[in-house]
Chains A and B, each alone.
Chain A
Amino acid sequence: VPVFPWHSLVPFLAPTQSD
């Protein structure tokens, strides 16, 4: 049975970094 990491379920919404 495959096991998936928790973070694969969550979208990675990366805002453009402005610094």
Chain B
Amino acid sequence: SPVALPPFFMRGSIIQLADGELKRVEDLKTEDFIQSAEISSELKIDSSTVERIDSGQSPNAVVIQFSVGELKAQVCVEVLVEYPFFVFGQGWSSCCPDRTTQLFELSCAKLCVGDVCVSLTLRSLR
């Protein structure tokens, strides 16, 4: 089932970076994620390229296929159309930016095939 949209995507939500700095969700920059992951001992930023966007099980859901990391592992996620992803160098983007803005007052670009999103993996599973 699609992942419901959590409250921290609401405009004005306070986000704590890895160094303790507080920022509003709408003010986050690509560098904030990169620098936070550099500090983290467990988490690593990966580049996840959008390969496909298909309809989901319900009318307001989409299945997004990503190519993750250097190994280009194929990973599919089903989310609501308003679910925002952070695109490198661009910022928040969703499959239905109008709906994201309507529900969460978060300005969004349209998420498209070829966009490179910020994602996380564990630094090492060993």
B94 within 8 A of A: no
CA distance A9 to B43 in the complex (A): 13
**B40 / chain A contacts, CB cutoff of 8 Å:** 7
B113 within 8 A of A: no
**B9 / chain A contacts, CB cutoff of 8 Å:** 9
Asked if B86 and A13 make an inter-chain contact with CB atoms under 8 angstroms apart, the answer reads no
What is the number of contacts between chain A and chain B, taking CB atoms within 8 Å? 71
| Residue count of chain A within 8 Å CB distance of chain B | 17
Q: Which residue of B lies closest to A1 (CB)?
A: B14
Q: Can you list, as one digit per residue, whether each of B35-49 has a CB less than 8 Å from chain A (1) or not (0)? A: 010001001011010
**B125 / chain A contacts, CB cutoff of 8 Å:** 17
Asked if B14 and A13 make an inter-chain contact with CB atoms under 8 angstroms apart, the answer reads no
List CB contacts (< 8 Å) of A1-19 with chain B: 1-17
**A13 / chain B contacts, CB cutoff of 8 Å:** 46, 48, 66, 68, 75, 77, 119-121
CA distance A17 to B71 in the complex (A): 10
B118 within 8 A of A: yes
A-B contact pairs, 12 of them (CB 8 A): A3-B16, A4-B15, A5-B15, A6-B16, A6-B32, A7-B40, A9-B86, A10-B33, A10-B45, A11-B120, A14-B122, A15-B75
Interface residues of A (CB under 8 A from B): 1-17
